[in-house]
Amino acid sequence: MAADLVNIDLDDDYLTWERKEPITYHPAPYSDDVAITVPLAKRRAPTLKEQMTSGGVYTSTDLIWIIPTLEAPALDQEFPPKPADTIEDGDGRLWTVLSQMPRGALKSFWRLVTRDLALTCELRDAISILRPVITVGDAAEPVFVWPPDGGSYVAVDLPARVQPSSDGIGKRNEIETAQTQFNVIYDDRRQERVELRSGDRIVVTQGTRAGQVLRWVSRSNEERIDELPYLVCERV
């Protein structure tokens, strides 16, 4: 009897689960070239106990995705789940893996804690990033030509949130001017990672600040997996 319990096979027990759905698994860094289709998976909210024992790391808006081993052999053999991977659901939402919980039912499925970073960061705006072509003027001064007249688009209509961070007096060309700094949170996971250069401009294309042109000063949160990166910018 004891031997029968030890040898019990639970690998296909997931077929009895309710509300199963297909997902696409993207090992980090995100790429459409490595997209693993998982025909059947299940989502559930973290329990109150799981939230409490996480010390505030897990929130009620996070999801735990349960992925049966039999439905995703590539995850078992080539791409073991890890933090920063993403799960794309049927609505196209991306859920970033924060951590992996102990595998359940004799290791027949993974349990991954995930977060929709775009939802958490309230990305209601959009930005485009422009790169100029620089020529020399008649007086040997640099002349910046921006798209659509010249230069190039580094990114177009990235989901973003543009919010003021501080007001004050700054200096530009040795002249004191009133300045407002902005934090521009953005999501570039669905395309090749944005690599900014000195001189690039950020143009707000959607949202309450549509048309605003910004100069980026620095970037932050590049290595965080629980938050999106953001740019510290100033008005042009």
pLDDT computed for residue 71 by the predictor? 92
pLDDT computed for residue 179 by the predictor? 60
Question: Residue 52: pLDDT band by 50, 70, 90 thresholds?
Answer: confident
Q: How far apart are CA 12 and CA 108, in angstroms?
A: 8
Question: How far from 19 is each of 40, 46, 58, 222, CA to CA, in Å?
Answer: 9, 16, 23, 35
Q: Are strands 133-136 and 213-220 parallel, antiparallel or unpaired?
A: unpaired
Name the E strands within 70-141. 86-88, 94-104, 109-115, 125-131, 133-136
Q: How far apart are CA 38 and CA 41, in angstroms?
A: 7
Beta bridge partners of residue 228, listed in sequence order:
none
pLDDT computed for residue 4 by the predictor? 47
What is the b/e burial string over 153-187, where b = at least 16 CB atoms within 10 angstroms of the residue's CB?
A: ebbeebbbbbeeeeeeeeeeeeeeeeeebbbbbbb
Hey, how many other C-beta atoms are within 10 angstroms of the C-beta on 27? 20
Percentage of the chain lying above the pLDDT 90 cut = 56
Is the pLDDT assigned to residue 105 strictly greater than 70? no
Mean pLDDT of 204-217: 95
Q: What are phi and psi of 199, to 5 degrees?
A: 100, -15
pLDDT computed for residue 162 by the predictor? 96
Is the pLDDT assigned to residue 12 strictly greater than 90? no
Greater confidence, 214 or 32?
Answer: 214
Structural domains for the chain: 2-116 (2.40.10.270), 125-235 (2.40.10)
Token pair belonging to 18: 């309710």
Is the pLDDT assigned to residue 11 strictly greater than 70? no
- Kindly write down the DSSP assignment for every residue of 142-177, as one continuous string: EEEE-TTTSSEEEEEEEEEEEEEEEEEEEEETTEEE
Mean pLDDT of 194-214: 94
Question: Residue 157: pLDDT band by 50, 70, 90 thresholds?
Answer: very high
Token pair belonging to 20: 């199963």
Q: What are phi and psi of 49, to 5 degrees?
A: -65, -40
Q: How far apart are CA 209 and CA 194, in angstroms?
A: 22
Is the pLDDT assigned to residue 8 strictly greater than 60? no
4 three-class SS: helix
Q: Which DSSP letter does residue 15 get? A: G
Is the pLDDT assigned to residue 195 strictly greater than 80? yes
Lowest average pLDDT, out of 100-104, 169-173, 195-199, goes to 169-173
